[in-house]
Amino acid sequence: MTQSPVILTQTSYSLSSRFSSSWALPRSWLTLLFITTFITLNGCTTITIDEHKQADADITIESHQSVVILGRRHSSDYETEPDLISCIGNVMSNGNNGLNIIEEQTFTDSLYPWFEPRTAPMRVKDLNRFLKNEAVAQAIDAFNIRYIVWVDGNTETTNSSGSIGCSISVGGAGCFGFGTWDKESDYEATIWDYHHRENRGQISADAQGTSYMPAVVVPIPLIARVQNNACKGMGEQLRNFFNAKAAQAQQ
Amino acid sequence: MFSQPQRNTLRQIRDYHQRARRNMAILLFALPFFLASCTNSLVVDTEFPSPIVPQVGITMGVVYDEALKSFTYKEEDKNRDKWVIEAGDAHTRLFDQIFPAMFADVNILENHILENHESGAGNYDLVLYPQIKEFQYSSPKETRIKIYEVWIKYHMQVFNANGDLVADWLMSAYGKTPSAFLQSKEEAMNQAISVALRDLGATLSIGFVKVPEIRTWLEENKPRPVPTNSVSARPKT
């Protein structure tokens, strides 16, 4: 009775050592395949981008002018994620036709306390409220701001089901089961023309995706990168919005 | 006197007691470490920007009492995680950053000046006495994600040069961990408190001159003009 666990342990050890010696090369390939599978397999995401622009909007942005992207955080239910704002900024500043993007934290620190969750202007005309203060106007001018983009929304898990159980014993550890969850992103970007104090348009991005996690000994996460895809979709649309309008204005 | 089996039994009993005493000593030695590991300790660490607000041309005395300077929140509820949060230093750093931007001159006063008004309050136009009245938070157990929410309630009192109460109002500050991604409990709580303190700074720096009693006092006691963009030196102690 007392010897059986020892025998079991020895058996599993010898099996594993035999496996590792005779399957050395294929095993490394398998590991590589496994890692590649992890990286390449993603859950599916669908994105819908809508653009609404003012018909008479005169969008021009010169090379020395900048855009600042800010997240709305006035609601008690949700906050626009700082990493999403940063991600949109990266997408807009990348590439040949990238724009000058001011980092959100740098801008809000320099304009403290006028762009805090409870004090930020909700409408473009509200900018006049604190621009009467010369110091505030000078602080904004120091960034050469031409457009302010407000992003409002968040990503949340809307549904989840399934279960995965894991156990550890003398012979080893493993998991078994299946889990799935849905995520939904809903963001709207509003573009303010700082020079003319006018609203130039809105871009919305809705993304849905389902992630899966089958587990047969090892859990394999197939993650739908919903927020990341919403960021890329919105960032590219915003970049095109400014560039297309800038090209149109040059003609 | 004792037979061999009896001696063996006695030796076994003695060994058993020795082992029990040794195990108990180890347990007593290790117990504080186990208990300490169950408590989350945090000294709030954050920086604050200087506000851009119109400066009021008055000399403001500010009183930081011991309760504020050494403010520590200890969670007493047995059903919640144990927290020891030291936020006094973060509060004084915030006030030291925002008051010089708000007032032409700022001096930090000793606590006793409030108790004996005639001994020095006359050197100042007004004296501000901020106090923390309440600290509350919600933890991930309640919100189900690694996000902490923090509410802090303050009692603000302003006295004139004669030591008379000019204004007396309550303020609240709110903060939430901005992101639940890859953070320890302490980092998440630190961020929530930092956001709450930033909120306090914003509300106080914009709202101070809008407090009805303060507005009335400023109308009656014309503050001296201050140049635009001026920020007074760091508070004098």
**Helix A4-22 vs helix A24-40: angle between axes, to the nearest 10 degrees?**
90
Q: Which token pair is A24?
A: 């050395």
| Contact indicator for A99, A181 with CB cutoff of 8 Å | no
- What is the complex's ipTM, to 2 decimals? 0.78
The pLDDT value given to residue B6: 78
Min Cα–Cα distance to chain B from A171, Å: 30
A105-141 CB burial, b ≥16 within 10 A, e <16: eebbebbbbbbbbebbbeebeebeebeebebbeebbe
Stretch A18-39: mean pLDDT = 55
| In contact, A206 and A186? CB cutoff 8 Å | yes
Task: Say yes or no to pLDDT of A18 above 90.
Answer: no
Query: Which of A116, A118, A139 is nearest residue B52 as measured by Cβ atoms?
Result: A139
- How many angstroms separate the CA atoms of A111 and A116, rounded? 9
| CATH fit for domain A41-250, picks 3.30.160, 1.10.287, 3.30.70, 3.30.2000 | 3.30.160
Cα four-point dihedral sign A102, A108, A109, A112: positive
Q: Any idea how long chain A is?
A: 251
Question: Do A82 and B181 lie within an 8 Å CB cutoff?
Answer: no
Structure tokens at A194: 């700082």
- The C-alpha angle with vertex B213 and arms to B207 and B218, in degrees rounded to 5, equals 80
Give the CB-side neighbour count of residue A64, counting CA atoms within 13 A: 3
| pLDDT-derived band at A107, boundaries 50, 70, 90 | very high
More confident residue, B174 or A33: B174
Which DSSP state fits A125? G
A13 has a pLDDT exceeding 60:
no
CB contact under 8 A, A112 and B51: yes
Please tell me the predicted confidence (pLDDT) of residue A14: 28
pTM of the model: 0.79
> What is the helix (H) or strand (E) element at residue A3, kind and residue range?
none
How far does the CA of residue B196 sit from the closest CA of chain A (Å)?
11
Q: State the pLDDT at residue A22.
A: 41
Interface test with A, best of B52, B98, B147, B198 (most A CBs within 10 A): B52
Nearest-CA distance from B51 to chain A in Å? Answer: 5
Give me the amino acid identity at A7: I
Dump pLDDT digits (tens) for A159-214. Answer: 999 999 999 888 888 999 999 999 999 999 999 999 999 999 999 999 999 999 99
* Residues B73, B75: Cα–Cα separation, whole Å: 7
In this predicted structure, what is the pLDDT of residue B4? Answer: 78
Answer yes or no: do B206 and A138 touch at CB < 8 A: no
Contact assessment for residue B133 and residue B155, using Cβ atoms and an 8 Å cutoff: yes
Residue A40 banded pLDDT, cuts 50, 70, 90: low
Nearest residue of A to residue B177 by CA position?
A: A79
- The Cα A215–Cα A206 span in angstroms is 30
**DSSP of chain B, one letter per residue?**
---HHHHHHHHHHHHHHHHHHHHHHHHHHHHHHHHHHTEEEEE-----PPP--PPEEEEEEEE--HHHHT-EEE---TTS-EEEEE-HHHHHHHHHHHHHHHEEEEEEE-THHHHSGGGTGGGSSEEEEEEEEEEEEE-HHHHSSS--EEEEEEEEEEEETTS-EEEEEEEEEEEE-S--SS--HHHHHHHHHHHHHHHHHHHHHHHGGGSHHHHHHHHHSPPPP--TT--PPSPB-
> Chain B closest CA to A128's CA: distance in Å?
15
- Which residues of chain B are within 8 Å of residue A110 when distances are taken between CB atoms? 49
A106, B80, B186 from B147: Cα distances, Å: 23, 15, 11
When pLDDT is averaged across residues A50-63 and rounded to a whole number, the result is 80
- The CA distance from A111 to A207, in Å, is 32
Residues near A135 by Cβ (< 8 Å), separated by ≥ 6?
Answer: B52, B228, B229
The length of chain B is 237
Q: Report helix, strand or coil for A76.
A: coil
pLDDT at A45: 87
Averaged pLDDT score across all residues of chain A? 82
Contact A118 B199 (CB under 8 A): yes
The torsion angle over the Cα atoms of residues B24, B29, B31 and B35, rounded to 10 degrees, is 180
Q: How far apart are the first and last CA of chain B?
A: 82
User: Cβ contact (<8 Å) for A83 and B181?
Assistant: yes
Residues of A whose CB is below 8 A from B179: 81-83
Predicted confidence pLDDT, tens digits, chain B (237 residues) = 667 777 787 788 778 777 767 766 766 666 555 555 568 899 999 999 999 999 999 999 999 999 999 999 998 888 888 899 999 999 999 999 999 999 999 999 877 666 655 545 567 899 999 999 999 999 888 877 778 899 999 999 999 988 899 999 999 999 988 776 657 889 999 999 999 999 999 999 999 999 999 999 999 998 877 776 555 555 655
Give the residue, A107 or A95, on which the prediction is more confident.
Answer: A107
pLDDT attached to residue A16: 32
- β-sheet with A100-102: strand ranges across: A45-53, A198-219, A172-193, A145-169, A66-71, A100-102
Does the beta-carbon distance from B199 to A133 stay under 8 Å?
no
| Region of residue B37 (left: phi > 0; alpha: psi -120 to 50; beta: else) | alpha
Question: How do residues A124-162 score in pLDDT, each as one tens digit?
Answer: 999 988 888 899 999 999 999 999 999 999 999 999 999
How would residue A6 be classed by pLDDT, with cut points 50, 70 and 90? very low
Mean pLDDT (whole number) for A88-95: 92
B203 contacts in chain A (CB < 8 Å): 113, 118-119
Architecture of the CATH domain B40-220: 3-Layer(aba) Sandwich (3.40)
Give the A:B interface size as CB pairs under 8 Å.
50
pLDDT in the model for residue A3: 39
- Name the interface residues of A facing B (CB cutoff 8 Å): 79, 81-83, 109-114, 116-119, 133-136, 138-139
Q: Which residues of B7-27 are buried (b: 16+ CB within 10 A; e: fewer)?
A: eeeeeeeeeeeeeeeeeeeee
Percent of chain A with pLDDT over 90: 57
> Closest partner residue to A135 among B205, B206, B229, by Cβ?
B229
List the single residue in B54, B176, B202 with the smallest CB-CB distance to A113: B202
